[in-house]
Amino acid sequence: MTNKKLEEYTKEELLAYIGELKKGRRFGLVWEPKDEQVVKDCNSKLPVLNEVKDRVINDAGDDYPTNLLIEGDNFHSLTTLNYTHAGKIDVIYADPPYNTGARDWRYNNDYVDDTDAFRHSKWLSFMDNRLRIAKNLLADDGIICVTIDDYELPRLAMLLDDIFGVEHRLGTVVIRNNPQGRSTIKGFSINHEYALFYEKTTRSTVGRLPRSDKQLERYPEIDEDGHGYLWENFRKTGSDSHRSDRPKQFYPLYVKGEVIRLPKMEWNNDNKAWLILDSPESDEVEVLPVDNAKNERVWKWGHERVLANPSHLQVRKVGGRTELHRRNYPSEGSLPNTLWDKPKYASGSHGTNLLTRMFGKSHMFDFPKSVYAVEDCIRVCSPKKDAVVLDFFAGSGTTGHAVLELNAQDGGSRQFILCTNNENGIAEDVTYERINKVIAGYNDTAGIPANLRYYKTDFVDTAGLGSLTDKDKLEITREMGAMIALRENSFEQIEQTNHWQTYENAKQLTAVYFREDKTMIDEYLTKLNGQEKPVKLYVFGWGKNAGAEYASKKISVEDIPEPLIEVYKEIAK
């Protein structure tokens, strides 16, 4: 069919097309898109964020990152983040409504239940709108994790395949989150949910999980620094272990008692072999990587590493033979399995009960995740200790809690961004208060130092901006400058004039010159060049790279993000 509108086709054309569709089998995800009011609003107005100043938590100081909590519709929040954090997010953890039919989520302000004939279409439209923006927020090496249960698993998997590509599907983990089981009318007791992991590009790295105590028991020896290891044969086995595979790793070692000596050697490139320049002493034994069947193998290390780590080798007598062993340390973690069944993943004891202990009352939030399950999902998504973690279905704030716990465990500086609505006061009374308790400490649990900024979503109606009063224009300009500062994690405004705004953080200044009139730019540049910190300058302009001429050793210049520059242009008309 051509791109005509549906009503422009004749009855005969439509019937012919339906006949063509029936001829072949189709595979893929097809649903009837459902309009969403918030999407229309974000397309007709400019979504912005306004800070709630009396909810700032800034006790940790400049050595700790500033985390963000955004109250409002998550599509609105994501749209705003798209021009402050595009390509900056390392980890996305998303726990969307499971669409069980139990009236547990709204679409266009109406609850969706199992009597709604378009329940799945509404859910798919809802998720499609958000996941496509979320993908743009991910860094090129970023990973997204989406949790779900059996109700929408098939459709979610196909939707993620479509958005991220089947080739970027990393794995699906089954998490035993309900050991007691949840009975169903179909006769099964449900114990699990799923976590689907997708990468944005092939540049991602799947993180490892901490080894269990049982796994660490395999490394009983303790070195000088308190790290566990075990002794294993220094001779390589298995694939790529023959002399022909790695000829530079076939060389002799001379042994006298417990002392190991590497002889002087010279590489002969013609023969692909070491020329040994000295012989063993009379009381030394020559040891080669030859196995019991007289096969010439290789050592596990090259000779340079032997010279650098002599204490990591040990002489042993095995069946009358002199053999060498080396220290084998566990890697930093183990590859994540696709079945997570540890008791710590139970959402009852480590989700619901945890909230009850924190708040002193029950039923603060339905079905919160285990903080340990979220911790491990974040670990899998990124090994970075300074990862930026986004959760746009933040709910009770488990992801923020998990990020702070990870930082406390390994000294990391991860930053979280939580997005949630305020239905039944969830953002103010649960999400914010939970993070506040984690930072300050609760019951007998010590606090974890961190900073937090609280924002609410809002709109700027861009129609008729040019006709506003100068006072209103300046106020909107201030809002735009605050969004640019948020983009740079610069939250403290130190100056505002009729021509510029200046913000700072511990590392840099963020400067915004928002006037088309450049008569004051030289004065501003002189002031900025005199600062100790480096400066990121955003300059009003009608085209790309409009402020490139103002760059200096101190100042780097950026274009004002596209949605914001359009507002500046409207005001300038």
Which helix (DSSP H) or strand (DSSP E) does residue 67 occupy? strand 66-71
User: Cα–Cα distance between 126 and 39 in angstroms, integer?
Assistant: 10
- The pairing of strands 193-199 and 259-261 is unpaired
Structure tokens of 566?
A: 């359009």
Bridge partners of residue 169, in order along the sequence: 198
User: Cα–Cα distance between 118 and 292 in angstroms, integer?
Assistant: 70
Sequential pLDDT tens for the chain (573 residues): 556 777 788 888 888 877 776 776 666 777 777 788 899 988 888 899 999 999 999 989 888 999 999 999 999 999 999 989 999 999 999 999 988 777 777 777 677 877 777 888 889 999 999 999 999 999 999 999 999 999 899 999 999 999 999 999 999 999 999 999 988 888 899 999 999 999 999 999 999 999 888 888 899 999 998 989 999 999 999 999 999 999 999 999 999 999 999 999 999 999 999 999 999 999 999 999 999 999 999 999 999 999 999 999 999 998 889 999 999 998 778 999 999 999 999 999 999 999 999 998 877 788 899 999 999 999 999 999 999 999 999 999 999 999 999 999 999 999 999 999 999 899 999 999 999 999 999 999 999 999 999 999 999 887 767 677 878 887 888 889 999 999 999 999 999 999 999 999 999 999 999 998 999 999 999 999 999 999 999 999 888 888 899 999 999 999 998 888 888 887 776
Name 101's Cβ contacts closer than 8 Å, sequence gap at least 6.
112, 113, 114, 115, 119, 151
Specify the residue for token string 């072999």. Answer: 273
* Secondary structure string (H, E, C) spanning 106-162: EECCEEEECCCCCHHHHHHHHHHHHHHHHHHHEEEEEEEEEEECCCCHHHHHHHHHH
Phi, psi values for residue 171, rounded to 5°: 170, 165
Helix, strand counts (H, E) of the chain? 15, 28
Residue 494: name the closest of 486, 502, 482 by CA.
Answer: 502
